[in-house]
Amino acid sequence: MDVAAIRREFPILRERIPGRDGKDHALRFFDHAASTHAPEPVVRALVDFLTTSYANVHRGAHHLSERATDRFEHARERVKSFVGAPSDREAVFVMNTTQALSLASHVACSLHDGPVLSTRLEHHSNLLPHASHGSRGEVQFSEASPWYGRVEMIRVTEEGRIDLERLEERLRQRPKPRLLALSCASNVTGVKTPIKEVLEHAQDARVPVLLDGAQILAHEKLDFSRLPGGGPDYFAAAGHKAYAPLGSAALVAKRSLLDQAPPWMPGGGTVKLVLDEEILWADSPDRHEGGTPNVPGAVAFAAALDFLERVGMEEAERREMRLFAKLLRGLSEIPEVRMLGPHTAKERVGVVSFSLGRWSPAAMATALNAEHGVAVRHGCFCAHPYLMELLGVHAGPFIEEIRRGGSTSAPGVPGAVRASLGVYNDDADVEALLDAVRALAARKPDSGYAWKGDQETWVPIPAQA
């Protein structure tokens, strides 16, 4: 499937973006690392379920309940097959990657003692759930050994990659980690984790592994059956980063681990029997899926994975890497641009974060949208320790302002702009982004925009008559 055919599948690309000059612009969407759009096949699957199969699942003898249950359980199997999960793995549906990571942390911290080992590269969602299982009081992160906090973070290299040598060394030391929690790819730089090597080291040390797959699921074909030990013990990913609607995600994990842990969210559907003196909990996945699940979201998630396979994951990856190399090359040729992380596309997914001279990241993102129809993300991307290290700054100068309720989008607050590629981006999109950045680079920082503190946003300054 060529990129023109892929683009025709996405209704959102027919939208025009109103510009501050009064003209409409074509949408140039570079925010796929935050959330992706649904193509027509996914929209049709969702509408079809809502109009022909809508009912609650499990324990219903009527036709619609049985049909809904069949489609829900098919979606579960589809998620497992898409990542090549072995037969001893189960998929538990949740709302988003954060919940999937939290569920994995709940299970691991219920079964084992010791610190959670992670890195400074992680999204907050793969740090904070583990810290919350510590003793009461302030959350503590530690880079020291032995462990002083609930989460021990391995540093990254100068270009922002995981220090694999230090990670291997720490896995052999005491106290033994209860869990190794890593991202498959950074949401800030796109740097990929060497999954095979990490699994080998962790399995040698008998440490369970949790992989945050949010930034890899739609970018690279995964096959757990080809990885050491049948892949990670826990794998978390969300449909909304893989061309499904918001609100559906899954944790794929070893069934034996899920069945040993107490229910993550006890309630309807998580039990076999409730007596006055005893509760018989259900086996997984029901054990951890309390209440009515997002059945339409699961059905749409499965349809999105079908779409990705029809597109061709390997061909899509090759096309993304060609565009990504073009984007990095173009940014590197703009003197005012500072890219964070590696400057090559090697061992990365299509995500790049950068700054532009003294432009505020929020002002730059506002200008890119208002003047060029270019959609990017700005800020610290829920990865404060990693971004501060890449920027070489410390939170000290502005932390008190944030404590007083100040905004992270305000002038002078460190951050960056992030551009992330998706399956339908093409050369015209990349050229439009580069032209837009060049145009801003030729102007005074933040020119044409003013910070409105009461609204916590940047707004265009009206042109003088």
Strands (E), 255-373: 271-274, 279-281, 337-339, 351-356
Q: For the chain, what's the residue count? A: 465
Q: Is 189 left (phi over 0), alpha (psi -120 to 50) or beta?
A: alpha
3-state class (DSSP) for residue 162: strand
Which pair of tokens denotes residue 126?
Answer: 């793969």
Count other Cβ atoms within 10 Å, centred on residue 40.
12
Distance CA 253, CA 249 (A): 13
The 8-class DSSP code of residue 441 comes to: H
Distance CA 247, CA 298 (A): 9
Residue whose C-alpha is closest to residue 210's, from 243, 139, 272, 258: 258
The 8-class DSSP code of residue 244 comes to: S
Amino acid found at 257 = L
Strands (E), 30-169: 89-94, 116-119, 141-142, 151-154
CB 440 within 8 A of CB 363: no
Write the secondary structure of 77-102 as one string of H (helix), E (strand) and C (coil). HHHHHHCCCCCCEEEEEECCHHHHHH
Which pair of tokens denotes residue 202?
Answer: 């962790």
- Catalytic positions, please? 382
Alpha helices, H only, 163-268: 164-171, 195-204, 255-260
What would you report as the CA-atom Rg of the chain, rounded to the nearest whole angstrom?
Answer: 23
